[in-house]
Chains A and B, each alone.
Chain A
C-alpha cells in the first residue's frame, strides 16, 4: 500500500532525513515516533508530496508520488500539524472546498460532508466560522477534511494536539474504525497514544530510521534490559563476585554511588530465572546485608529513549567537533 524507499532530504550539506525506508500494508496503523527535529514531519511532507525528496521514492498502491503526483495525491488524506483551514470560512464551506479539490461531484458533496461531520462530531458547528472554533474543533475540521474523498492512505501529523482527553478517546476509536478500510500513518509524541492505536512503530532519530517493529517486537528488545537492581553493604568487589557466581546470572554491571551514597548493581539473568532467594542467601552468608532489591521494568518510553538518545548525543558531539576541524 505505502512503500517508502530510501528517502533522503538535504538542506545544503545537512540531512533532515537520510535513507528512510518502511512499508505500510492495508488496514495497518503505523506510528511515526521520534524526538523533535527527528524528521517525522519532513517524512510526512515527502509522502504527501508537499516536499520533494533529494533521493529515494514513495509509492502508494504502486503509484509513484514523484512520477504521477496527481494520481498519488488522490489516494492521500493529509492532516498536517497545523490544520490547513481557512478562518474566514464556515466548517461547511471548508469541507465543500475540500470536496471540490478532490474533484467530487455536487451530488457527492452532501453525503461526504454529512458523513465526516458525523464521524467527528462536527454536525453542530457546520455553519460556524472556523475562526470562532476552539483549537480542538479546528483539529477535527482538519481531520474531517483529510477524510473527504475516502483516500486510502491517511497521514496524520500529531492528530491529538489540542484535543481534550474525551476527544482523544473518541479519536482513538475513530482511528480504530478507519483502519478497516484505510492505511494510517500517524505521528505523536505521546507514546501511550502510539501504543494504543498503532500496529507498527517506526522510530526516527536524527533523520535516520532507528527501528521499525511491532509494539511487541520493541518491548521484546526492552526485555533484554530487564533484570534486578541491587544495593547492598559490603566490599564492592566481593558483592560483584558473589552475584557473578550465581549460575542464573547472565550479566552484572555496577553503577557507582549515586545521590543516596550507595553503588547499585544491575543484574540480568538467563531467561526468566528467579534468583531472589539464592542471591539473598549468598549475600547474607557473606555478611553483606541487602539495602534494596527490586525488579527493573522497561516500558515503551525506555525503548524510545534508548533508541533515540544515543544518536542525538552522537550528532551533538559531532557538530561540536566539526567547526574545530
Chain B
C-alpha cells in the first residue's frame, strides 16, 4: 500500500493536477472566508464550511478521475495486477493519497480559524465537527470517485459521472419534500450527504453520521477491489 500511496502522491504533484486542485481549493476557500466571514464580520466558521462542502463535490472528481482510468488507458494496470500486492492495498494506497492531498488543502484553512480566534468567536467543538465532517465526507466522496474511475478507462467520463453521483447525494436531501411516499422520503433523508454534514457542522457527533460516511467509504472501497479483481475475469 505504501508504494502505491507514494506513487500516487508523487504523480499528483508531478502532473499539475495536484497544484491546480490546491490552488483552486484555496482560492475558492479564501473567497468564501472573505465574503461570508470577514466582510460580514461573522465569526461562525460554519458560514465558511457549508458553501465549501458543495465546492469540494466539484473538485474531488478531478483528483479521483485518473486513478484507475489512467492505469487502464496506459496499460500500467498490468504492473499492478501481476505484482505481489492485493487489490485492497492498491485501492487503499490510491484512496489515502487523494485524501492526503485533500487534507493538505484543508490544513491551510486552519489559518482562518486562527483569524477567527483572534478577531471573533471561536467554538472549538463546532470547528472540530466541521473538520471531522469535511474529512469524513471527503473520504466517502473519494471512494465513490475511485469506484467510478475503476469502471471506465476514460477520465472525462469518470469525472462527469462522479460529479453527477456526488451532486445527487448532496441534493437528494433538498429534493426530499418533493418525493412521493414516506419510505422514499426517509430513504432520501438517510442518503443525504448534506444533512449528515449539517449535523457535524453543528458540533453533534452522532454515531450514525460517522457510520454513514465510514460505511460509504468502506463499501465503495470494497466495491473497487471487487471491480479490480473482476478485471482478471473480464
- Chain B residues proximal to chain A, CB less than 8 Å: 2-4, 6-7, 10-11, 14-15, 74-86, 232-233
CB proximity of B70 to chain A, nearest CB, Å: 9
Q: Is A80 an interface residue (CB 8 A)?
A: yes
Of the A-B pairs whose beta carbons lie under 8 Å apart in the complex, a sample of 14, sorted by A's number, is A49-B82, A52-B232, A70-B85, A78-B79, A78-B82, A84-B74, A86-B7, A86-B11, A86-B76, A87-B74, A88-B14, A97-B3, A101-B84, A145-B79
A73-B75 contact, Cβ under 8 Å, with A51-B232, A52-B232, A89-B14: no
Selected from A70, A84, A100, the residue in CB contact (under 8 A) with B3 is A100
In-complex Cβ contact of B84 among A70, A80, A84 (8 A): A70
- Whether the pair B76, A84 counts as a contact (CB closer than 8 A) is yes
Contacts A49-B232, A80-B78 given: A101-B11 contact, CB under 8 Å? no
Q: How far is the CB of B232 from chain A (nearest CB, A)?
A: 5
Task: Check if A244 is an interface residue, CB within 8 A of chain B.
Answer: no
Interface: A190 (CB within 8 A):
no
User: Which chain A residues lie closer than 8 Å to B86 at the CB level?
Assistant: 70
List, in ascending order, chain B residues with CB within 8 A of A80's CB.
Answer: 75, 78
Known contacts A49-B232, A80-B78, A84-B79: does B14 contact A73 (CB below 8 Å)? no
Whole-angstrom CA separation of A98 from B4 in the bound complex: 10
- Complex CA gap A57/B173 in Å reads 51
Q: Is the CB of B232 within 8 A of A74?
A: no
A296 at the B interface (CB under 8 A) = no
A78 engages B78 (CB within 8 Å): yes
B15 touches A88 (CB 8 A): yes
A85 interfacial contact with B, CB 8 Å? yes
Within 8 Å of chain B (Cβ to Cβ): is A91? no
Q: Which of A45-82 contact B (CB under 8 A)?
A: 45, 48-52, 70-71, 73-74, 76, 78, 80, 82
Task: Answer whether residue A102 sits at the interface, using C-beta atoms and an 8 A cutoff.
Answer: yes
CB neighbours of B75 from chain A (8 A): 80, 82, 84
Distance A78 CA – B84 CA, assembled complex (angstroms): 12
A-chain residues with CB within 8 Å of residue B232 when the two chains form the complex: 49-52
Residues of A within 8 A of B84 (CB): 70-71, 73-74, 101-103
With beta carbons under 8 angstroms apart, the residue of A52, A76, A100 that contacts B233 is A52
The listed residue with most A CB atoms (<10 A of its CB), out of B77, B81, B82, B232, is B82
Q: Which residue of A lies closest to B7 (CB)?
A: A97
Give every chain A residue within 8 A of B79 (Cβ-Cβ): 78, 84, 98, 101, 145
